[in-house]
Amino acid sequence: MDLESLESTPDFDRSGLLSHILDQFKISRHGAHGPAHWARVRLHGLKLGRSRGGDVLVVELFAFLHDSQRLNEYSDRLHGSRAAEFAVSLNGRFFDLQTEQLDKLCYAMEHHSGGVVHTCATIQSCWDGDRLDLGRVGIKPHKDYLSVEAAKMIASATRMSKGLSSG
Ligand SMILES: [Fe+2]
Ligand SMILES: [Fe+2]
């Protein structure tokens, strides 16, 4: 997993959290919703979150947690809601979010499959990061579902999704 730029991200028990998530992860670690996806969501989300003044701790936790409760690779409509419940159960153990931060993280996870664009830079940076990685399942991200800043990253993110670039 690419964990570059750790020096500029908030401090929390990152390795403990990732171990805990992986221990309970019920689908393939090598599938479309596994750690390689989380890493790309994190990379895109942090870049956008920083440039737009979002809460990068919330964005990073979204990347690691948003697909952590999937039961299958396809039509698991409630995986975001379960991820929100999971995040609440972990707060104070691997990370310490204030109520407002936890609310944003939970909202972003509960609604991440909805296709809406949000005015909150933190929430939209989470969704942008996820949607910019649609190339891994053969879908080109569409600018109508991204922030203006994220729309500029479609080509590079799609190359990365397909394994054509490490950047
Ligand atoms: Fe998801
Ligand atoms: Fe995802």
pLDDT averaged over every residue in the chain: 93
Tokens of 43: 């990379």
How much is the average pLDDT of 83-89? 98
Taking phi over 0 as left and psi of -120 to 50 as alpha, with beta for the rest, 163 belongs to left
d(CA 95, CA 71): 25
Distance from residue 26's CA to the centre of ligand 2 (Å): 15
Where does the pLDDT of residue 167 fall: very low under 50, low under 70, confident under 90, or very high at 90 and above? very low
Distance from residue 33's CA to the centre of ligand 1 (Å): 7
**What pLDDT does residue 9 have?**
72
CB 149 within 8 A of CB 134: no
Distance from residue 112's CA to the centre of ligand 1 (Å): 6
Condensed to tens digits (0 to 9), the pLDDT of residues 36-58 reads 999 999 999 999 999 999 999 99
Give, as residue ranges, everything with CB less than 5 Å from ion ligand 2. 67, 130
pTM for this predicted structure:
0.94
The ligand minimizing its distance to the Cα of 126 is: 2
d(CA 67, CA 27): 10
CB 136 within 8 A of CB 32: yes
Distance from residue 20's CA to the centre of ligand 2 (Å): 18
With a CB cutoff of 8 Å and minimum separation 6, the contacts of 76 are 70
Tokens of 162: 């397909």
Helical (H) or strand (E) element with 10: none
Q: Please report the domains of the chain, with CATH numbers, ordered by start residue.
A: 13-161 (1.10.3210.10)
54 three-class SS = coil
Give, as residue ranges, everything with CB less than 5 Å from ion ligand 1. 67
Taking alpha carbons only, the member of 69, 70, 79, 157 closest to residue 114 is 79
**What pLDDT does residue 125 have?**
98
The ligand minimizing its distance to the Cα of 129 is: 2
**What pLDDT does residue 53 have?**
96
Distance from residue 127's CA to the centre of ligand 1 (Å): 10
Q: Is 126 exposed, middle or buried (0-12, 13-18, 19+ CB in 10 A)?
A: buried
